[in-house]
Chain A
């Protein structure tokens, strides 16, 4: 089968590498964010179970701390870092699907080296920024949740910092 210099046979290797790197690095970031925040959330939950979800403020092991944070605002608040880490994996998923939609075997589409390099760069950019964002969300989520246990007014500040970290992944 004839192919020109611009559509070599190894060009799909680069395109598929882009898909793989997008997903792999995105998952690394999301996994780190989830794990690190999860450690913090579990640690906080032992002392203040009401901060993870509603309906544990009447538990006999917990002293009545209902004056510090209103129960109506506490449901699922501490899970925000975990959800944001999951969103990073979704960013990587979306980009992988987009790239995979353009990949077809030679009879149907002549995949040029240009396409391959672009897809590789695209995958690396979303993957590596996702990894960076996941790392930052993990660290901020962990220390933010632990600070939130002691001072509930810090919640807004924690969410703002988390959003800035998430935006790194969005830029990618």
Chain B
């Protein structure tokens, strides 16, 4: 049914690249931790930044799935329902792909933060600022995704 198809497409995206971001950062933390074990705990903050991206995906999935409902009959093809279905689809793709690239970027910056921290502890906070700029990208994606899905309104059984 056309109104339900869009609902499935997006949450894997943001989660896949959260995994990738955590992978990139995690290997650097583990590698750097061999020579400088003190970096373990502080650098888990970078992992948390990656996780936040996954949470954005979950939030969006929950909001969008609450909009999906079964419609029967002529109303299935009304302009209003098409609009709502397109909005759900595109807002999902948007949030997923934005968080995808954000996750990779946070991961790369987190890994360089871990290695810089291992070399010199005072650098961690400075590189963290760069990581914050990266994570803001995921937030922008979430904002626009929510803006688009709120423009959708609800599916109506009246054509």
Q: Is the CB of A86 within 8 A of B133?
A: yes
User: In the complex, A92→B137 CA distance in Å?
Assistant: 11
* A30 beta carbon closer than 8 Å to chain B: yes
- Residues 4-38 of chain B: 1 if any A CB is under 8 Å from the residue's CB, otherwise 0? 00000000000000000000000000000000000
A45-B127 contact given A9-B79, A31-B104, CB 8 Å threshold: yes
* B42 beta carbon closer than 8 Å to chain A: no
A106-B127 contact given A23-B94, A31-B102, CB 8 Å threshold: no
- Residues 126-159 of chain B: 1 if any A CB is under 8 Å from the residue's CB, otherwise 0? 1101110110110011011001100111000001
Q: Is the CB of B130 within 8 A of A97?
A: no
| Least Cβ–Cβ distance between B132 and chain A, in angstroms | 10
Q: Is the CB of A35 within 8 A of B122?
A: no
Size category of the B interface is 35 or more
One of A11-19, A151-159, A164-172 contacting the partner: A11-19
Which A residues between 67 and 112 are near B, CB-CB below 8 angstroms? 79, 82-83, 85-86, 89-90, 92-93, 96-97, 100, 103-107, 111
Q: Is the CB of B90 within 8 A of A39?
A: no
| Least Cβ–Cβ distance between A162 and chain B, in angstroms | 15
Size category of the A interface is 35 or more
Which B residues between 90 and 145 are near A, CB-CB below 8 angstroms? 90-91, 93-94, 97-98, 101-102, 104-105, 108-109, 112-113, 115-116, 119-120, 122-123, 126-127, 129-131, 133-134, 136-137, 140-141, 143-144
- Among B77, B93, B134, chain A packs the most CB atoms within 10 A around the CB of B134
* B69 beta carbon closer than 8 Å to chain A: no
| Least Cβ–Cβ distance between A101 and chain B, in angstroms | 9
Which A residues between 6 and 32 are near B, CB-CB below 8 angstroms? 9-10, 12-13, 16-17, 19-20, 23-24, 27-28, 30-32
Q: Is the CB of B137 within 8 A of A43?
A: no
- The chain B residues found within 8 Å of chain A, CB to CB, are 77-80, 82-84, 86-87, 89-91, 93-94, 97-98, 101-102, 104-105, 108-109, 112-113, 115-116, 119-120, 122-123, 126-127, 129-131, 133-134, 136-137, 140-141, 143-144, 147-148, 151-153, 159
8 A-B residue pairs with Cβ-Cβ distance under 8 Å, sorted by A, are A42-B123, A43-B116, A59-B122, A86-B136, A93-B140, A93-B144, A100-B148, A106-B78
